[in-house]
Structure 1
Amino acid sequence: MPILGDYHIHTPFCPHGTTDTLAAYAEKAIQLGLKEISFTEHAPLPEGFVDPTPDKDSGMRREQVDAYIKAIQKVREMYKNDLKIRVGFEVDYIEGFEQATTDFLNTYGDEIEDAILSVHMLKDNTDTFHCLDFSQAAFGDLVTALGSVENVYRAYFHTVEKSVRSDLGHFKPIRIGHMTLVEKFKRVYPYQYSKVMMKQIDQLLTLIKTKGYQLDVNTAGLFKPDCQTVYPNPVVLQRAKENGIPLKIGSDAHQATDVGREFQIALID
């Protein structure tokens, strides 16, 4: 399939990103010959949820949302003759906070033109949340809490399945973000997929197909030193293709120079 755009891009509104301007991202996309981009900033975490990361910076603040939307609308007008720009969000699926997430989506749904649903937060056996991709140490804490690396993988894919099945209302995102993000530290915490785990993944892909959802093909993993593969990994990505699941490629750029990086090896043909 032809690569027309970059559908997973962050912004200066990201509390753990850079201060590169929206225009800088747009200029990079145009330089690469892309025809469209989606700004998909981390949506505010649901009301009542306590961010488990040390700096509490996993999502933008709720009071920033209106300014974020207006800023994208402004840059969209600036580049309307050269680039299609969409207003979007990367929305966290957090188990137990579905209603608060739905409330957010209902509030801004009419202005959302693209969105990704991602799992970053996992519960352990004491209902304590962990951010699975924050750091090696945090992932190690999650392994300790759940008892094994396999248990972390099992919990991750089970939570992704819950995100797909969840009722988040009319404006629920239909693109599942970086489906094998759990592999971010796989060179430190290796895991060989068992037949049972692959069956779980195949069932998840079937569910995604049945729901009519898309997959985020995310090249950021290629640049993580302990991962070095695209999300989802090549095996899962091939199975997604065989299932006929629509694919949308994204750089997960947190700085303008990352837009469109390594799209040519992301296994989209």
Structure 2
Amino acid sequence: MKDGHIHTPYCPHGSKDSLESYIENAIKAGYSALTFTEHAPLPDSFRDPAPAKDSSMTIEDLENYLADLGGLQKKYEKDLTILKGLEVDYIEGYEKETSSFLDTYGPELDDSILSVHFLKGNKAWYCIDYSPEMFEEAAADFGSIEALYRAYYDALAESVQAPLGSYKPKRIGHMTLVRKFQKLYPGPEEWPSRASRFLTLVKEHGFELDYNGAGMKKNHCKETYPPLAIAREASSMGIPLIYGSDAHTASALKQGWEAVDHSLIKPWPR
């Protein structure tokens, strides 16, 4: 049992569950390896569009986060493989700042994720998974839900191709996050074809995919990121899929595990 996407008490929109509580729960659940992937600090010049400004840890917390994980790697080395990681945001127009950040901290990381949460509309930036209300506002700004999906997959494509330096993460986080509120705002009929075209790009650039169970626990989603058909398509193309619980509490480890196709999951660490 391995999990490549886990958050920590350093997440301002998560819980205060201790790192040790995550690790102890992981051991009880039969985990053999995990990666802590806290939300990396956002670029200094980027204004967090989430109302609470709580999308990521602060740069001031980052050194403590890395030091804590280093200590826990040693403490639990006989029980569990613990990898130090981050969930790094790709934000259009902020590539240079992101690359500089990765050049500085990349050498300290074992395994990380590259995700898209933020999209720039005509009027403002939006955190598309923040709330149904923000998703609806974003769709209105872009002109339609179809246009929002198009912008999301364009941003994902840019994230794969962006020059972010030698420490750029090679795993794409929750590639269907735009569907978090799909039971309230159904996606356009053609969205699977966009996802398929994105898989081609993932394959061409040698990326992995986060096979994320968190969507199963979201009331307006109830599917994995990506859903089963797309996960199987990715696997058939030879794209590695790494299970991620995306846990923001210690009790959420292994969430969505029952819904993923275990035969598709790539063994790791490599």
Q: Please, what TM-score do these two structures have when normalized by structure 1?
A: 0.95
The offset of 1:118, in angstroms, is: 0.3
1:187-226 equivalent positions in 2, closer than 5 A: 187-194=183-190, 197-226=191-220
1:94 is matched with which residue?
91
Provide the rounded CA distance (Å) in 2 between the counterparts of 1:91 and 1:78: 26
* Post-superposition offset of 1:261: 2.1
Using the TM superposition, give the Cα deviation of residue 77 of structure 1 relative to its aligned residue in structure 2, in angstroms: 1.3
* Alignment match of 2:143 (pick from 116, 126, 147): 147
Which 5+ residue runs of structure 2 have no aligned equivalent? 264-270
Could you tell me which amino acid in structure 2 is paired with residue 233 of structure 1? P
Q: Is the 8 A contact 2:224 2:256 kept in 1?
A: no
Counterpart-to-counterpart distance in 2, 1:262 and 1:161: 26
Match for 1:67: what amino acid?
Answer: N
1:235 alignment partner AA: A
Does residue 13 (structure 1) correspond to residue 10 (structure 2)? The answer is yes
C-alpha deviation, 1:7, in angstroms: 0.7
Whether contact under 8 Å (2:217, 2:255) holds in the other structure is: no
1:227 paired with 2:224, answer: no
Residue 233 of structure 1 and its aligned partner are, at CA, apart by 1.6
- What's the secondary structure of 2:262's corresponding residue? coil
Once the two structures are overlaid, the 10-residue window that deviates more, 201-210 or 243-252, is 201-210
How far is the alpha carbon of 1:132 from its aligned partner?
Answer: 0.2
- Percent identity, aligned pairs only, is 45
> 1:54-107, CA deviations, whole angstroms, 9 ceiling, x for partnerless residues?
110101000111100001111111111000001100000000000000111111
Separation (CA, whole Å) in 2 of partners of 1:153 and 1:94: 16
Q: Name segments (4+ residues, structure 1) moved above 3 Å.
A: none
Match of 1:44 among 41, 46, 70: 41
What pairs with 1:1-269 in structure 2 (closer than 5 Å)? 4-126=1-123, 128-194=124-190, 197-269=191-263
2:112 aligned counterpart, secondary structure: strand
- Asked if the contact 2:212/2:226 (under 8 Å) is kept, the reply is yes
CA distance in 2, matches of 1:193, 1:99: 35
Q: What is the aligned partner in structure 1 of residue 268 from structure 2?
A: none
Aligned residue pairs: how many?
263
1:102 aligns to what SS in structure 2?
A: helix
Equivalents in 1 of 2:192, 2:254: separation in Å?
30
Letter in 2 for 1:116: I
